[in-house]
Structure 1
Amino acid sequence: MSSNPLRTQELLDLCITFVSESPRNLLSCSLVARSWVNAAQSELFRIANLSVRPDRVAHKFCNALSGSPHLAHHVRELRMGNLPALIQNLDHVPFTHLQTLRLYIKNVSVAVEIYRPLLSLPTLQTLHLRTSSRFSASVKFLALCPTIQHLHLSCREDYEESQADSASSLTMESPFIRLMSLQLEISGGEDPPQHKLDKTALYPLDISELKALSIWGSGSIRWNSLPKTAQESIRIVDSNFWLGELDLSSFRNLSVLRLGMIQGGDAESDVRHTLASISPSNPIQTVVLGLSNGLLRYNKEECAYIDRILLSLASRDIRVEFEFELETRGAEEKVNEWFPAITSQNKFHLIYRPYGASDIWRRDLLPIL
């Protein structure tokens, strides 16, 4: 056994991970010795972010891969903006270990052939797709990536969808894509059409064995259309305030529940009825109530009902959290005012999340899947 610990490759690899946040230090490490090169390059190219300053960084990245194609084997995550010309330059790059892809595609209907080589990689497991296209066209476009298990889709509502935006050539041509987690962020105006979460509306996606579901930004999703098999398998539900009342009695394996509650409308009533539907036999471990900032002028009578339900859940050793955005002033005082029963028993936790982020997906909860 070597007396020098840095001659043990496993220890050397571990040491290099401690400087992984500094590209300059990783470059320096790669010049120390041959035994350092692979570990340093693995950290340096693990996440390729081409969405920031693509005019410089992206072309540097492409030039590096052109001169040393083996570097592509280190890439585990690729982040790209709306750069179709650059994508075409990566057609023949051997991304043999790419697992996560983050894309912005302005119009999916004209991007099928451009993005097909990346999206069809057999190692791809996670896709973050942000697009200006509509919901139905975006879902059909996903037929290009048959191996994904985790999907984050940000798109627009369906209204009067044009023929050019329909991506109809992909309809019903691929086998189902079985997802473990699904995040939907759908933007649009008032009175959008209702989307079902069934085989027809989501083809080629299969959510029958879904473990985590998050829906933000739209009241157009019909929760009562969620397949029964999905309700029974889902462990994490993350819902914002637009989605209304949920009946959780059939969610037999639900472990984490997050409900957004922004003042106005019937948000308080919806939250109350949703929490009341949690059965005593449900194995739920964490309940998160996402509260809005500002004055929090909630309906006091409804909050009193919610307060008692939360206290009852806490008595079952269920973790109760109140979630605010970062830098919210007086969060604890606001919770004390609107939910005095649970706060008097000191059976709650205050959680702060980044602006505009779904905190459930950022707090290491998905590994339980």
Structure 2
Amino acid sequence: MSWFRRKRKPTEPKNADEPCTLPREVVDACMSYLSGRTRDLKACSLVCKVWSHAAQHILFNTVFLTQSMSKYSRLGKALQRSPHLITHIHTLTLHRDDRVKTSMFESICMQPFTHLDTVTIVHSNPMDIATAHVLGQLLSLRTLRRVDMDCYFLEPTIFPVIWETCSPTVKHLDLRTCSGTLDPIPSLVHTAASKPVMLDSLRLGRSNNIDVWMAPESSPFDYSRLFILSLETSQAFSRWPRVTPNRHTIESLDFSAHGSVGVDLSLFPNLQFLRIHSISALSAGKVRNCLITITPACRIQQIVLRLDLPRVYMCEQMDFQIVKLPMSQLPSVGIETVDVEYDYWALHFPKLRARELLHRTNPNWFETRIERRDAILRRPP
């Protein structure tokens, strides 16, 4: 009997050729705990095909290239050896200065991205016309939804070139620009054949000659459906003839209290969210003048205040003024700060606290408003 046991061939298990794999949803959930741990994800990608797909999806979902030729080169080689990796890239950030050759920067921009949703471009060098055309090709991708751009131009006429072939799917723009001249420019040439980019949201950071980029009739953007508007200052957009007629579409508004021109909130009949930043002792009076323009017809549901070097009396004055707003239902008020500071400054908004209308907010309001707006648009009719 012992001889028979030694000679008997081991029986093959059923489905021996089929590997035991977990459903992709389970693997993805497990891998999510390793997000940010590059070495562990690389090790997991070597286990089996299902694990490889999940690990690569996390590794390449967000690609961030700093001002380093080696990182540009490594990404280019990885996509050349394994073209399927490009399907995992949803967010791409490109930083470019003198250390990154033009050819390397352009080679990444010209990759055939299939699922790219968000692009961030930080271009420290003066942009030339050739690079503008290359960026235009990148922005022509039909999957693209958000663009964040921080660029420097010697020639203002280069700026519209970027948008001539822009995909109509681009709805959200975060823009900071700098031109090499402070002289006023009468007009910019925008190709008549190219359709202006219809934006749902626009955030403008600090820029010189902002009217050159945004205000003229030849601007590459269409503001007729603008729902979210964020401005570093309040003075520029009061002079934009193309924005003024469309203020009724704006539901979320953000601006700096340091602007020299006040904002009349009664001109925004559908405004639901208001954020005022850079509030200090010097600008508190402008904030109060802005709040005075709120009428009983206003539909504001939330006001967010970002305080810079606040004073106790300043907080108490705003607390009193907001509680006295002529609205049937007062908006909630968020103080944009960290937990420790909030606990202190919240004491100086006693009336709002007593009505349970005061809370702390995070600085990622812009992304939150975009996500909410997109969720509304995705709802079935």
TM-score, structure 1 normalization: 0.80
In 2: Cα distance, 1:220 partner to 1:195 partner: 11
In 1: Cα distance, 2:221 partner to 2:27 partner: 42
In 2: Cα distance, 1:208 partner to 1:94 partner: 31
What is the CA-CA distance between 1:217 and the residue it aligns to?
5.2
Q: Contact 1:99/1:124 (CA < 8 Å) preserved in 2?
A: yes
Counting matched residue pairs gives 345
In 1: Cα distance, 2:240 partner to 2:137 partner: 37
1:25 maps onto 2:40 in alignment = yes
Of 169, 191, 197 in structure 2, the residue corresponding to residue 177 of structure 1 is: 197
Q: Counterpart of 2:121?
A: 103
1:308 maps onto 2:320 in alignment = yes
Q: Counterpart of 2:266?
A: 249
5+ residue gaps in structure 1? 354-358
238-247 or 207-216: bigger deviation:
238-247
- Residue identity opposite 1:321 in structure 2: G
In 2: Cα distance, 1:297 partner to 1:86 partner: 51
Q: Counterpart of 2:12?
A: none
* SS of corresponding position for 1:60: helix
In 1: Cα distance, 2:63 partner to 2:210 partner: 38
Give % identity. 25
Task: Decide whether aligned partners of structure 1 residues 150 and 246 sit closer, same or farther in structure 2, where only a CA change above 3 A counts.
Answer: same
Q: Contact 1:73/1:94 (CA < 8 Å) preserved in 2?
A: no
1:150 maps onto 2:163 in alignment = no
In 1: Cα distance, 2:82 partner to 2:174 partner: 32
Of 290, 298, 303 in structure 2, the residue corresponding to residue 282 of structure 1 is: 298
Aligned residue runs from structure 1 range 81-120, under 5 A: 81-82=95-96, 83=100, 84-90=102-108, 93-105=111-123, 106-110=125-129, 111-120=131-140
Q: Counterpart of 1:320?
A: 333
- Residue identity opposite 1:36 in structure 2: W
Aligned residue runs from structure 1 range 127-276, under 5 A: 127-133=147-153, 137=157, 139-140=159-160, 141-147=162-168, 148-156=170-178, 159-160=182-183, 170-188=190-208, 198=215, 200=217, 203-216=219-232, 219-222=235-238, 225=241, 227-228=243-244, 230-243=246-259, 244-263=261-280, 265=282, 267-276=283-292
What is the CA-CA distance between 1:305 and the residue it aligns to?
5.4
What is the CA-CA distance between 1:256 and the residue it aligns to?
1.1
5+ residue gaps in structure 2? 1-18, 374-381
What is the CA-CA distance between 1:67 and the residue it aligns to?
0.8
Q: Contact 2:304/2:334 (CA < 8 Å) preserved in 1?
A: yes
The CA RMSD over aligned residues, in Å, is 3.5
What is the CA-CA distance between 1:204 and the residue it aligns to?
1.2
- Residue identity opposite 1:258 in structure 2: R
- Residue identity opposite 1:96 in structure 2: T
